[in-house]
Structure 1
Amino acid sequence: MAILKIARMGHPVLRSAAQPVEDPTSPEIRRLVADMQDTLRDAGGVGLAAPQVYVPLRIVIFFAPPDRNNGVAVPMTTLINPVIEAIGDDLADQVEGCLSLPGMAGKVRRPAAVRYRGVDLDNAPVDVQAYGFHARVVQHEVDHLDGILYPMRMTDLTTFGFVEELRKAAAS
């Protein structure tokens, strides 16, 4: 397949709401998702939304490695036309990064558990309850579909900076 260019913060495609996918089973959508998976592997991330590769459609892909998700691996998942809702009132603060803001990170408060629904590439329903890192990555990627980047969710910009500088500060 192909490795696609990743849009960076400031590009208009990242500031707009993405459009619903009409036919999740179409060859064009399958090709796009395959290219997104190649791009994600190449970039070393855990999630990617179609607007991040300049395609304003409601598609996200993600996975959660066990070492970041309390020992539970979540395989590569394709979610099309997602809907997300919080489960309960618990919130969690965690540092996030983004392939569209290379080298940057900041602390974001999000619901600790969510339910997400949508369809996969076969138009089969997806309905999952997610907790911890799994919940966070899904929320982060779905935000991209609504033109929201994680700095827009930050309440304390003193936690926002270059990863390298944040690591130095934490070590001292």
Structure 2
Amino acid sequence: MSVRHDQSRPVDRRVRVQGQPVDSYPALPPEAERGSMRRVTVVGEEILSRPCRELAEFGTPELSALIDDMFLTMYVADGAGLAANQVGVDLRLFVYDCPDDNGIRHVGHIINPILELPTPGSRRLVDELEGCLSVPGAAMTVARTDHAVARGLDQDGNPLVIEGTGYFARCLQHETDHLFGHTYLDRLSKRDRKDALRQMEDRREDVFAHRATKAARLGQ
């Protein structure tokens, strides 16, 4: 998911890492420091339109390297979240570095997440612009609930419960959608979907150029 233009990742903001509060956290997460840039898949590629496989093996160097690479790729692409199939890997995993509407920055990863949303009678839907790193250059209004809980595992197989409100709840819903083969375009009317694809065609080359420039600054 794309980060909102009015949001950034300052060092001294209140932070929760893997759902736990910490006193401070660097603007560039340590995972990104260790990672290598990967290509971001684009809507229309088959891997984005089918459910990902559940991960069964934990604590491996390969999994750790994948998470590191996803963090760096997300950072270079100016993302707030990134799913594994967005870097061509068919696994139920996403990473995030996303603020909520209360000024708290949430950083982490989650594997095999199950999303819990409020019941229809208690949920509040919020219409807000939403973008996706796999739909480069486009942004459309999407209705999402303002609260979500993701239950899953960390890279060592330990249980995780990640709660999100506001924009972070949107992020959790957006990234979980990816793992089941959906993008936010699937939530749009035919007319709005065509508009989003037109935006992408008009702006994608500028987005790719910006990513290439940012990657070059980082030696990628």
**Cα deviation, residue 24, structure 1:** 2.6
Figure out how many residues of one structure are paired with residues of the other and give that number: 162
Match runs of 1:1-172 below 5 Å: 1-65=35-99, 69-74=101-106, 76-87=107-118, 88-155=122-189, 157-158=191-192, 160-161=195-196, 162=199
Residues of 2 paired with 1:44 and 1:71: CA distance? 18
Task: Normalising by structure 1, report the TM-score.
Answer: 0.87
The superposition leaves residues 85-117 of structure 1 with CA deviations (integer Å, 9 ceiling, x where unpaired) of 102321111110000000001111112111110
1:14 and 1:36 map into 2 onto residues whose CA distance is: 16
Work out whether residues 95 and 105 of structure 1, in 8 Å CA contact, stay in contact via their aligned partners in 2. Answer: yes
Distance 2:147 2:62 in 1: 33
How far residue 72 of structure 1 moved from its aligned partner, in angstroms, is: 1.7
**1:73 partner letter:** R
Aligned to 1:169: none
Distance 1:136 1:110, change over 3 A: same
Offset of 1:157 from its aligned partner? 4.0
Report the identity percentage. 34
Give the letter for the 1:82 counterpart. Answer: P
Ranges in structure 1 where 5+ consecutive residues have no aligned partner? 166-172
- Greater shift, 20-29 or 94-103, is seen at 20-29
Unmatched 5+ stretches in structure 2: 1-34, 204-220
Aligned CA-pair RMSD: 1.9
Structure (1 or 2) with the greater strand fraction: 1
| Matched position secondary structure for 1:77 | strand
TM-score by length of 2: 0.69
Given that 1:106 and 1:157 are in contact with CA atoms closer than 8 Å, whether structure 2 keeps it comes out as no
Q: Which deviations, in whole Å up to 9, do the C-alpha atoms of 1:41-90 show, x marking residues without a partner?
A: 1111111000000001000001213xx6331221x210000000102321
Distance 2:187 2:58 in 1: 30
